Each structure stands twice: as structure tokens, then as C-alpha cells.
A and B are shown apart, each in its own frame.
Chain A
Amino acid sequence: MKGIALKTWFLFLAVGILASGLTGCATLKGGPPGAILQVTPDKIILTPDLLKNPVVFSGSGFGPNEIVVIELILPKGVKVKGVPEGENGALGNGTSDAKGNIEIKMGAMSTLNTLFQVGWTPLIKPDFKQASPLPPGTYKVAATGMLSDRVGKAQLTILPPPEKK
């Protein structure tokens, strides 16, 4: 009797856990196929040259002619101005071609706001005196098709500045 009663309680527990798991578990519903993402170059030093020669995000496997947004996944403890904890930094956006391929240059505003975290003067000029650049490290990057929800992932490494001789 005792064994049956115990099994009954465990059954209740299992049903409860399964119910909450099923409603929240996206993988069980099946997600869209992954896309492919490459970052070139994938190792950078933070210098203003990035504005003239921006990082390029290329890839395939997105939906045709859709908006694709490139995000920087911020590790815990790394802050970007204007981005609450738990949200992603922005690196760029563009539109895929008819075959679902992308080639997107890192936007100037993203370079300034996410990588350098500049301030802005009232005359809409970036103020590097107020900048607090992202710390060196390897960051995850995700490109998401906004209509297909397909995601391509890669990494971007920010190298420490070279030592001054």
C-alpha cells in the first residue's frame, strides 16, 4: 500500500514537471534549421579604422529577401550603454538575397555604440572622450533572419591593444 501511495505522489510530481516543461520547451516543438555565419576578420583590435574597414558578416541559409540582424551576445558582467542586462548588443543589419545569402558590413552606429560605446555631442558627433570600449575577449555573434527565425552563429575576438613601445 505504502509503495503504491509513494508511486502515486511521484506520478503527480512527474506530470507537473512534464506539463511545465512541454509548454516552455521550444526544442520539443521543433525550431527552424540553422543558418551559417562567418565573421571577417574574426579577430580585431578596437581602432577608428574599423569605421573605414568594417567587419563583414557573411553567410547562407537564411530566408530569401528577409531582414537579418547581427547581434553580439554579451557575457554576464559586460555592459553596453543603453543595453539592459540580458539583452544583446547590435552589430549590424541587412537584407538577405533571393537565395538566403547575406553579406553585411558592421554598421557605423553599431561600431560606435557597441564596440566603442562613445558619447554623443548635441551636434550629433561621436565623443570618444566619453567612450568605454568593450573589453578584450571572445564574444559570441548571432545572425537572425527576422522572418524565418533562422540563426547563424560565429565568434568575434577583440584583441588587447598592442603594447606601446
Chain B
Amino acid sequence: MKRKRVVLLVVALVLAFSAWPGQVRAEEKTAAFLDLTDLTGAIAGLAGTASKICEATIDYFNKQGGIDGVKVQYIGVDTRYDVARALSAYKRYRQTPHLLLANTISTGLGKAIYPLIERDRIINYTPGDGEFQARLSRTFIYSTPYQDGFAAALDWMKEDWQKTGHTGAPVVGFLSWDNPYGREPFRGGKEYAEKIGVNLLEAELFPVGSLKHDVWLNRLAAKGANYIYVGGVDPTQTNVIRDAHALGLTKKIQFVTDYWGPDRSVGVKAHPDALENAVVVSCFSRGTDTLNHPMMVEIWKQYMKTPVSEMLGASSIGFSWAMHYIEGLRIAMKDVGYEKLDGEAMYQAFMKLKGHDVTKGATGLCDYSPTSRRMSRYVKFYRVKSAEVVPITDWRVAPDAVSLHKF
């Protein structure tokens, strides 16, 4: 009977105390990063790789004690590039304690989720749509906006044209996916081309998933393109340039791709000859730069279980996601402490990142501020040489093409 009373008392106490977790149990301090990514779906090659490095970088810092004693809880969701799946996951995870940031790996997803970000007073990352710079909000572009990168490429093309003994400005073609991402560089980029006197041809846009690109390439060649800027996600750019090479066009047209262009471990590995001399503009380090980045190499060795020579270009994207979050968390902890750590504190912290070398050279200096949602103003140019991607410029400031367009 006495034992029965003791058992009943213990049960009652356990049930009672379980209703007040924060006050009784010692909690590990955590802050959450919700990654609405694509691990097995349409863009897993890019987003999935980036997310693996993001998670690895977070774990790397957690193993060293976290940020001022706060461990980052990485929550990875395989949205398979489906907005509905991302929304479903957001609904599930939005009340995670100290959820500070949601990463969205497509512009469509970022726009769909935005009202919820506002309601929940957290922040989110979005890929490269300049509209988020034109209309400042809680969304932070995780790259240099696409139109700024395109404008920097137009500058490079004009310089290259004149360096190779030509006068005036070149004729530039544009070839990309027929979707909002593919059209984005023209929103500001077209205006910039006019400003600097480059003859920018009408964009040629092809369906996502196209296997061959001869039709569009031949049209641009017939219109006299000296340079062609190619968008998509590798291996799309690789396949475009492969097709151009087969048509003999790479002998007379210089191909320049955007940030998601030929990856040293994907397209360059598959078609090194076709891609020889292709140029890539990027706001993330690529090729040999990533192989020489001490922290990224250390993380790759510890977590990826493959040789460093296999490091994918998308690695620097995920590294950047994690490092900006970590730096923001560091500032937020200093400003408000753990008890008051929330999305608003992270938002305020992110706006103090301007000028910080957050990624130790894997990107240019950060530009987030009260007037900027650009991860950085800086881009770098690379060239495919002998099956490797090598830098041909230092970090340089990209033009502000966003402000030229009326959004």
C-alpha cells in the first residue's frame, strides 16, 4: 500500500513537472535554421549540395561549442522544389523555439512564404531576385542580384572586346530558362546595356529541361552576337556551350555564364574541351579558389567523405548561408542575449553585417544593411582552363542595375 502511494506520487509529480519544461529542466541553448531546400528533386544537384555544406558548417561550429554557447539547430526539408511542400513544412516548423531564419531556394518559394515571414517576424534568404533589393523587407538575397551580376558581365565583355583590339562595343546575346529566374537579369540589365552602349539582343529563352539548344544558338549567331550570356543551373550552361562547340560557334563567340554555371565537378568534368575558355561570373568563389579556402577544405574533408578534388562549386553557396547566419547570431547574442533572442533580433543583426568579411574570402564583403538586402556587391570572373575553373579577376564591385529598373 505504501509503495502504491509512492508510485502514485511520483507519477503525479512527473506529469505536473512535464507541463513546465522551461522552468525545471536545464535546456541546451539553441537557435534554429530552417532550410527549405531540395535534396532529391529538380535542383538537388545545386541546392542539395549547398545544403549539405551548410549543415556541415553549422555542425563544425556546434562541435566547437556553438556561438556564445548557443548551438544551431539545422532543420533540412526536402521540398523537391515544390512550393506547396515548402509551405507545408513551414507550417510544421514555424514554432520551433528560436527559429530565426528560413532559407528558400527558389524565388517563387521566397515570394510565396513572405507573408508568413512577416507574420512570424523572422528573416529569410532568397536566391537572386532584384525585386527584394528594390523593395526592402525581411528577405535577404543570398547572392549579388542577378541583374547586377549580368551588368558586371556586360562591363567585362566590353573591356574584353576592347582588349582584343576592337573598337566600340560588342553585340551581346542572352540565352536562359524561360521562367522568372531566366528573365530576371533583364530587369535592370537591359537598361544597363543601353547605358554603356552595348548592343544587347532580344533574349532567347528556352524551356527548362531542353536537351538541345541549336535553334536558339543559331538565331543569336545569325544576329551577329560576339558574346553570349548563358543562364540556367549546371549542367544546363554546360550543355548549351557543348551544343555551341558542336556547331563551331565557340571559335567566334565568347560564352559567359552566370553564377550557377559550369561546375568543376559537374559540367567541366563532363565536357572539358567544349567548355575551354568559357567564362563564369560569380558572387561565390569557384574552382581553384574553393580548393584553396582553408575552412571550406577542412569542412569538406571532415564531412563529405570524398577527396577535396571533388568539391563542388555549390559548396561555397552553402558555406555562405551558414556563415552569414552564424555571424548574425553572434551579433544578436551580443545585442540582446539568449533570453531575448528571436527573429527580430536576427533581423537587426543582419543589418549590421555590412563590410564584414563573413565568409573569409568565399564571397566578397557583405553588404546587408538598413538600405541593402544584397549579400554582397562583389563578383569575380573565372575561366575554364584545362578542365579547371580558375580566377581571372579579383573581387570587383558589380554595378547597381537594380536601381535602373522600375519594379
Q: Hey, which bits of chain A sit against chain B, CB under 8 A? A: 5-6, 9-10, 12-17, 19-20, 22-24, 66-67, 69-71, 81-83, 87-93, 107, 109-110, 113-114, 120-125, 144, 146-147
Residues of chain A lying within 8 A (CB to CB) of residue B40: 81-82, 120
Task: Decide if the interface of chain A is mainly helix, strand, loop or mixed.
Answer: mixed
Q: Are A90 and B88 in contact (CB under 8 A)?
A: yes
Q: 27 A-B pairs, CB-CB below 8 angstroms?
A: A6-B5, A13-B15, A15-B12, A15-B16, A16-B11, A17-B12, A19-B16, A66-B115, A70-B84, A81-B78, A82-B40, A82-B78, A90-B84, A90-B87, A109-B41, A109-B81, A110-B82, A114-B85, A120-B44, A121-B209, A122-B45, A122-B266, A123-B235, A123-B236, A146-B115, A147-B116, A147-B119
Distance of A114 Cα from B89 Cα, bound (Å): 14
A69-B84, A113-B82 known; A147-B42 Cβ under 8 A: no
Q: Are B84 and A20 in contact (CB under 8 A)?
A: no
Distance of A71 Cα from B78 Cα, bound (Å): 15
Residues of chain B lying within 8 A (CB to CB) of residue A110: 82, 84-85
CB distance from A70 to the nearest CB of B (A): 7
Q: Which of A13, A67, A70, A121 contacts B11 (CB 8 A)?
A: A13
CB distance from B352 to the nearest CB of A (A): 30
Give the residues from 3 to 44 in chain B that come closer than 8 angstroms, CB to CB, to chain A: 5, 8-9, 11-16, 18-20, 39-44
Residues of chain A lying within 8 A (CB to CB) of residue B89: 87
Distance of A92 Cα from B86 Cα, bound (Å): 10
CB distance from B88 to the nearest CB of A (A): 5
Residues of chain A lying within 8 A (CB to CB) of residue B45: 122
A9-B9, A69-B91, A124-B43 known; A93-B84 Cβ under 8 A: yes
Interface check B208, CB cutoff 8 A: yes
Identify 10 new A-B residue pairs, CB closer than 8 A, beyond the known A81-B40, A109-B80: A12-B9, A23-B20, A82-B41, A83-B78, A87-B88, A87-B92, A88-B92, A110-B82, A123-B235, A124-B42
Distance of A37 Cα from B90 Cα, bound (Å): 21
Residues of chain A lying within 8 A (CB to CB) of residue B41: 82, 109, 113, 120
